[in-house]
Amino acid sequence: MWSLLRRDAMTVWQQVELKNRLVKYREIFQNKRLPRYKLARLFHVPFNEKMKKDELMEIHEHYQPKFKEWLEEKQQYSIEDIEKEVFSKYKEEEIEKNNYLKLKVKILNDVLSACEFCENRCKANRAEGKIGNCGVDGKAYVSSAFIHMGEEAPIIPSGTIFFYGCTMECSFCQNFDISHLFSFERFKGRGSTALDLAQTYYTLSKQQARNINFVGGDPTPNLHVILESFLDAQVNLPMLWNSNMYLSETSMKLISDIFDIWLPDMKYSNNDCAGKYSKAPKYWDALQRNMKMIEERGSGEYVIRHLVMPNHTNCCSIPILNWINENLETPLVNIMAQYHPDYKILRGAFPELNRRLKTSEMYEVRKHADDLGVYWKSVS
Ligand code: SF4
């Protein structure tokens, strides 16, 4: 039925260049390759519950290249064959207690008591119920979960989970009702457990989801619950991280090799614009680092989103395209034209952003992408 609504979700795969850029992602939903989280929970890593965060992180970094190598070798095997091999070496209870995914969950839960999941590093003690700059406490609050048909063609139908709260505050936010202006007291304490999330993945998979898409607001404040849910999840679907990518280095170390595909939002190409319009200090430094980490440690498969903004082609759009072209191996870029004034802009903030885009601005950015040879048409 969905293929009638969006025929391009089928036809887009006839484009060889696009297909070659999302090989691993496609093979996962075709059941020819395992999602990364399933391998992470079968990869033995020795640690114990008493160890402190720094020691656990050291162990994580020691095993990260080994996991990468193992994953590359095994991802196209069947889960039965991998289990057979792993359980011939270790007891089942041993793997359940000491695996790479569990190590990540343990570190994230330790970080939660002085939270630095995102680059704000506001150190809120979310483990004890304190609310961080992102607007939520230590639980994961789902606003909605459904099959999204409005995403880019290779992504739909997308089993999308929207979380409350956000790590940045864009003055023009188009999702401000779940990012910032929600009444937390109304649902405080009634967060979703890891098991609730795992059940949601199953429900979405039965509705023909091609992936599980974590978004918000921003999904970053919920990392600990999301990764814990992967310990229970059963779906053979790619896990998709759809985010502003304003994550701390620690968070990126923990998730860069777990998600199968990425929808990073690359908004600004300098710290000044990000600080001024989105209250995100050191945004550009963090964004460059995090994008490179996906290349070096993770799948390197993504659909980058860039929202072209009025009066920001020279300071942001053009340099972002240059950076993508120079630094990323096989990017697909959705150059988005749908900017409209919203949220604080409608209440008088930053008059320079209080209009829609001019055709000439879009033309300039898309022409620059063509001149560079950046691949964008089939996802924009
Ligand atoms: S996710 Fe970011 S803003 Fe939220 S509590 Fe953690 S460090 Fe603070």
Radius of gyration of the chain (CA): 20
Task: Please tell me the distance between residue 136's alpha carbon and the centre of ligand 1 in angstroms.
Answer: 8
Tokens linked to 79 = 């889960």
Question: For position 6, what pLDDT does the model report?
Answer: 84
pTM reported for the whole predicted model: 0.97
Cα–Cα nearest to 300, from 43, 40, 68, 57: 68
User: b/e string for 175-211 if b means 16 or more Cβ within 10 A?
Assistant: bbebbbebeeeeeeeebbebeebbbbbbebbeeebbb
User: Which residue among 111, 112, 118, 214 has the greatest number of ligand 1 atoms within 8 angstroms of its CB, and so is best to mutate?
Assistant: 118
Distance 121 CA to ligand 1 centre (A): 6
C-beta of residue 155 within 8 angstroms of C-beta of residue 213: yes
* CB of 167 closer than 6 angstroms to any ligand 1 atom: yes
The domain locations on the chain are 2-296
Task: Give me the CATH code for the 2-296 domain, please.
Answer: 3.20.20
Q: Ligand 1, closest atom to CA 167?
A: 3
Tell me the C-alpha distance between 116 and 250, whole Å.
Answer: 8
Q: Is the CB of 117 under 6 A from ligand 1?
A: yes
115 CB within 6 A, ligand 1: yes
Q: Could you tell me the mean pLDDT of each successive run of 10 residues in the chain, 380 residues long?
A: 77 93 97 98 96 97 98 97 97 97 98 98 97 97 96 96 97 94 90 98 97 97 98 98 98 98 98 98 98 97 97 98 96 97 97 97 98 94
Specify whether the CB–CB gap between 24 and 260 falls below 8 A: yes
- The atom of ligand 1 lying closest to the CA of 131 is 5
- Ligand 1 atom, smallest distance to 220 CA: 1
CA distances, 365 to each of 173, 174, 309, 324 (Å): 22, 22, 11, 13
Q: Which atom of ligand 1 is nearest to the CA of 133?
A: 3
> What pLDDT does residue 1 have?
65
Q: In whole angstroms, give the CA distance from residue 353 to residue 276.
A: 12
Q: CB count, 10 Å around CB of 355?
A: 13
> Is residue 292 in contact with ligand 1, taking CB distance under 6 Å?
no
Q: Does any ligand 1 atom lie closer than 6 A to the CB of residue 220?
A: yes
Q: Is 133 in the pocket of ligand 1 (CB under 6 A)?
A: yes
Q: How far apart are CA 330 and CA 261, in angstroms?
A: 13
Give the nearest ligand 1 atom to 122 CA.
8
Could you give the residue ranges of the DSSP H alpha helices within the chain? 2-5, 8-11, 16-21, 23-29, 36-40, 53-74, 79-89, 92-97, 100-111, 176-179, 184-187, 194-206, 223-229, 249-255, 271-278, 283-297, 318-327, 359-372
